[in-house]
Amino acid sequence: MKDVTNDLVLDRILNAERNRLWRCWTEPKLLEQWFCPKPWHVTDAVLDLRPGGEFSTVMHGPEGEEFPNTGVCLEVVAGRKLVFTDAFTPGWRPSGRPFMVADVSFEDAGEGRTHYVARAMHWTEEARKEHEAMGFHEGWGKAADQLEDLAKSL
Amino acid sequence: MKDVTNDLVLDRILNAERNRLWRCWTEPKLLEQWFCPKPWHVTDAVLDLRPGGEFSTVMHGPEGEEFPNTGVCLEVVAGRKLVFTDAFTPGWRPSGRPFMVADVSFEDAGEGRTHYVARAMHWTEEARKEHEAMGFHEGWGKAADQLEDLAKSL
């Protein structure tokens, strides 16, 4: 009986191998290359791949905007699944405003392709609408294109 | 640089062995015997001791009040530390209103005693004040007495 009302979902077949996509998600130097739709970009990625381990980035905009994001991993299944949230900082410390949980999964789809599902689950309808208005579908879609390109190039 | 402003803490030396206290916390049939200050009591305890595993109880009051609580474990270090929260239901699904993270730790204190720290960390000042007004210190204190008595009797 799960209520998916406040979920936003990107569900795609990517033309890249699962393990290469996983590397792009989990190696900081690779993550920084695709995680934000250009002309935005990410620096200072930290990924401690265990429950409670830090997952943080700093997003930079073309006008010099700078947004640090700190969160933690909740679940890590190597090559298959990564769940993280901004609801805590390391040490399970509640952070200002819990916005979302992201659940990203990777499944082989044959012929070197991967079924990629990125699900953003929100605590409130307000947060979901805000994320939608920020351009979830376009933003995560463009980022997925960048991810696919980078993974193919490895 | 951790901000403990919204924490409530119970810090006690309990006259019972660490492993017995751990059993009382993690075996549902034992948990039900001490988890609520009497005359309240708990039934239907579910404890799946892994990150993301269910931690739920139903609290019952003397007038027939019934409060189901569903949450998940965040971190489990056998015999040492249990962290859980009401912020998710299983599957890392954000639950209605994230209220708190509880971080419970157990350290040997010599002569069969245990240093017991139960820390409730809240997302907001409002939640912390609400928890305080609900009787955190008295309630968790009485429950700790019940926990100590049960652990000694094992």
DSSP state letters, A31-78: HHHHSS-TT-EEEEEEE--STT-EEEEEEE-TTS-EEEEEEEEEEEET
- A7-153 has CATH 3.30.530.20 classification: yes
Q: What pLDDT, on a 0 to 100 scale, did the predictor assign at position B92?
A: 97
Flag whether pLDDT at B135 surpasses 80: yes
| Average pLDDT over chain A, rounded to an integer | 96
pLDDT at B3: 79
Rounded mean pLDDT of chain B?
96
For chain B, where are the alpha helices, taking DSSP H only? 18-26, 28-34, 125-133, 136-153
Question: Model confidence at A3, in pLDDT bands (50, 70, 90)?
Answer: confident
A103 vs B contacts (CB less than 8 Å): 92
Tell me if B6 sits within 8 A of B128, measured CB to CB.
Answer: yes
pLDDT, one tens digit per residue, over A14-27 is 999 999 999 999 99
Is the per-residue pLDDT at A1 higher than 70?
A: no
A125: closest chain B residue by CA:
B96
Q: Does A98 touch chain B (CB under 8 A)?
A: yes
Within its chain, how far is the Cα of A5 from the centroid?
20
- Residue in A6, A101, A122 nearest the CB of B92: A101
A-chain residue closest to B88, CA distance = A123
Using CB atoms and an 8 Å cut-off, which of residues 115-154 of chain B contact chain A? Answer: 121-123
DSSP code string of A111-148? TT-EEEEEEEEESSHHHHHHHHHTTHHHHHHHHHHHHH
Per-residue pLDDT at A149: 98
Q: ipTM for the complex?
A: 0.90
Residues of B in contact with A52 (CB under 8 A): 51, 74-75, 83
User: What percentage of chain A carries pLDDT values higher than 90?
Assistant: 95
**Interface contact flag, A3 B91, Cβ < 8 Å:** no
What are the distances in angstroms from CA A97 to CA A2, A140, B23, B51?
23, 21, 34, 22
Per-residue confidence band for A97, with pLDDT thresholds at 50, 70 and 90:
confident
pLDDT score of A96: 79
pLDDT in tens, B26-43: 999 999 999 999 999 999
Query: Please, which residues bridge with residue B14 across strands?
Result: B114
Specify the pTM: 0.93
pLDDT band for A144, please (50, 70, 90 cuts).
very high
Q: Strands B66-77, A81-85: parallel, antiparallel or unpaired by DSSP?
A: unpaired
Confidence grade of residue B62 (pLDDT, cut at 50, 70, 90):
very high
User: Cβ of B102 under 8 Å from any chain A Cβ?
Assistant: no
pLDDT per residue over B74-86, tens digit each? Answer: 999 999 999 999 9
Question: Mean pLDDT throughout B110-139?
Answer: 96
| Cβ-Cβ contacts under 8 Å, A91 against chain B | 2
Point out the residue among A75, A91, A97 whose CB comes nearest to the CB of B2: A91
Whether B20 contacts chain A with CB within 8 A: no
Whether B1 shows a pLDDT value over 70: the answer reads: no
The residue of B6, B101, B122, B131 whose CB has the most chain A CBs within 10 angstroms, and thus the best one to mutate to test that interface, is B101
Percent of chain A, pLDDT > 70?
Answer: 99
Entry field: residues in chain B: 154
Q: When comparing pLDDT for A153 and B3, which is higher? A: A153
